[in-house]
Structure 1
Amino acid sequence: MTDALFAPAAGPSTGPVGGWRHARVLSADHPHPAAVRLRLDVPDRVDHVPGQHYVVRLTADDGYRAQRSYSVASAPSDPAVELWVDRLPDGEVSGFLADEVRAGDTLEVRGPVGGWFVWDGSGPALAVGGGSGVVPLVAMLRHAQDLGVRERLRLAVAARTRTLLPYADELLAAGALVALSREDAAGRAAGRLGADDLRTLVGPGPAFVCGSAGFAGAASRLLVELGVDEGAVRVERFGPTG
């Protein structure tokens, strides 16, 4: 996810929590010129629940520190922790991770973190993500597939174009509803994610919404207008730090 300030809706924290670790970078590849996908070997790792995130902390030679939170894309069964990071033009952490980090490097990380925006696969759920807000939903998808309960997760994602949608091929192959505002996608004409897209996905269980503040607000309002109980909507907003 981008350099982000997470603002989850208020709620109980029930997820596992891990402390600071020195993780070894197993791979750092660039599916998009403005993004990096990191796979980390985290020693003595606490298994996460899909929807949680990790904090990455950088320390300069003069002692200055900067840290940002990034959602986990990997399933709990994955031996590595996978993070997707969008490179922001002025992102002091995302820029370093995207431009400088290589396999074999060491990163200081803390996680997993978060307990409100989590789904363990035990019941049905709807997940709606925009842009890099799809990353925690990919963890949910992978977990559902591992458990053999793919049908429990109803999934809708949105982006401007396919190249700007993280994990686009994986999401399309899994049958997610993909809405691209500037391109046709999987038989759907170009256009923003709307009520007609979400209407057929509304059902039992919580509704997870993740994306920019604008996307999360619009998607949440649509769900409530379609009859989803406001208390069932769990929102995680992100945006560039100041």
Structure 2
Amino acid sequence: MTGSTIGWFTGTLVRARPLTASARSITFTVPGWPGSDAGQHVDVRLTAPDGYQAVRSYSIADSGPGEEVELAVERLPDGEVSPFLVDDLEPGDTVDLHGPLGGWFVWRPDRTRPVQLIAGGSGVVPFVAMTRAHARAGSNVPMRLLYSVRTPDDALFRDELSRPSPAVTTTWHYTRAVPPGWPRAAGRLTAEAVKSAVPAPDQGPLTYVCGPTGFVESIARTLLGLGHVPDTIRTERFGGI
């Protein structure tokens, strides 16, 4: 882990940019932040004028030392926290951040096993941190990303993940609509599609899966059915609003 201190910090918004029509990257400067490993997350706490508090967890989109924390938040229609973070939070506003949290769902550059990342929707955020850490380290470890989204317009960090990379390969899968000229029809991510995109079990990949609960459980079952060993599969579900 980059830092050893886990606690509550005050983050001040310094940058924000849209990622999709319903998602936003928000970067905070956080005095005293100990740094984080790729794949960790934070709790974000908002406090209303009447004292009511709401706390939700969000993956960190980057890693390493320094006092900046980037999150990527997708607005959920009935959410208490995500609509405010996406639509209302302005530079100079502050929030409370608790973290960095999580030690199981992380990737560090000293690891040598091939890596397969499988994301559903906004579950790609911790994998953006991993691909960035991989690039900064100049790692030669093979890293693949299989990213399933409803439509091309729903992809977070699309431009970044589409750029050619000598070490990280991204495979796109669309469930509702495909780009013009796309060779496959839209549809759910089948076992056959997973098999064609991920390394074979005998290559010993370490596989990370992140997304909605149903997506994660389905992919985990598929991987087991393909012969991947349970302790090589790391999963993280999201659902905070």
TM-score range, shorter chain: 0.7 to 0.9
Do residues 123 (structure 1) and 112 (structure 2) align?
Answer: yes
- Name the CA shift for 1:223/1:149 in 2 (closer, same or farther; >3 Å): same
How far the C-alpha of 1:102 sits from its partner, in A, is 0.8
Which amino acid in 1 is paired with 2:116? L
- Equivalence map 1:77-226=2 (5 Å): 80-121=68-109, 122-124=111-113, 125-149=115-139, 151-173=141-163, 174=165, 175-184=169-178, 188-189=183-184, 190-200=186-196, 201-202=198-199, 203-226=203-226
SS in 2 for 1:112: strand
Do residues 69 (structure 1) and 57 (structure 2) align?
Answer: yes
5+ residue gaps, structure 2: none
Give the whole-Å Cα distance in 2 for the aligned partners of 1:123 and 1:151. 6
Deviates more, 1:16-25 or 1:48-57: 16-25
SS in 2 for 1:69: strand
Give the whole-Å Cα distance in 1 for the aligned partners of 2:231 and 2:35. 27
Q: Corresponding residue for 1:57?
A: 45
Give the whole-Å Cα distance in 1 for the aligned partners of 2:190 and 2:140. 23
Give the whole-Å Cα distance in 2 for the aligned partners of 1:29 and 1:102. 11
Higher relative contact order structure (alpha carbons within 8 Å, sequence separation ≥ 6) = 1
8 Å CA contact retained: 1:15, 1:115? no
8 Å CA contact retained: 1:160, 1:181? yes
- Name the CA shift for 1:75/1:224 in 2 (closer, same or farther; >3 Å): same
8 Å CA contact retained: 1:180, 1:191? yes
Which amino acid in 1 is paired with 2:10? H
Q: Corresponding residue for 2:234?
A: 234
Report runs of 4+ in structure 1 exceeding 6 Å deviation: none
Deviates more, 1:120-129 or 1:60-69: 120-129
8 Å CA contact retained: 1:141, 1:150? no
Deviates more, 1:217-226 or 1:189-198: 189-198
Deviation per CA, 1:33-79, whole angstroms, max 9, x where unpaired?
21121011111111111110011101112211111000011132575
How far the C-alpha of 1:14 sits from its partner, in A, is 11
Give the whole-Å Cα distance in 1 for the aligned partners of 2:44 and 2:193. 35
8 Å CA contact retained: 2:176, 2:187? yes
SS in 1 for 2:81: helix
Which amino acid in 2 is paired with 1:81? V
8 Å CA contact retained: 1:131, 1:164? yes
Q: Corresponding residue for 1:4?
A: none
Give the whole-Å Cα distance in 2 for the aligned partners of 1:233 and 1:168. 25
Do residues 46 (structure 1) and 37 (structure 2) align?
Answer: no
- Name the CA shift for 1:16/1:120 in 2 (closer, same or farther; >3 Å): farther
Give the whole-Å Cα distance in 2 for the aligned partners of 1:45 and 1:209. 27
8 Å CA contact retained: 1:27, 1:39? yes
Give the whole-Å Cα distance in 2 for the aligned partners of 1:132 and 1:139. 13
Give the whole-Å Cα distance in 2 for the aligned partners of 1:17 and 1:211. 27
| Aligned-residue identity in percent | 39
Give the whole-Å Cα distance in 2 for the aligned partners of 1:163 and 1:123. 34
Which amino acid in 2 is paired with 1:177? T
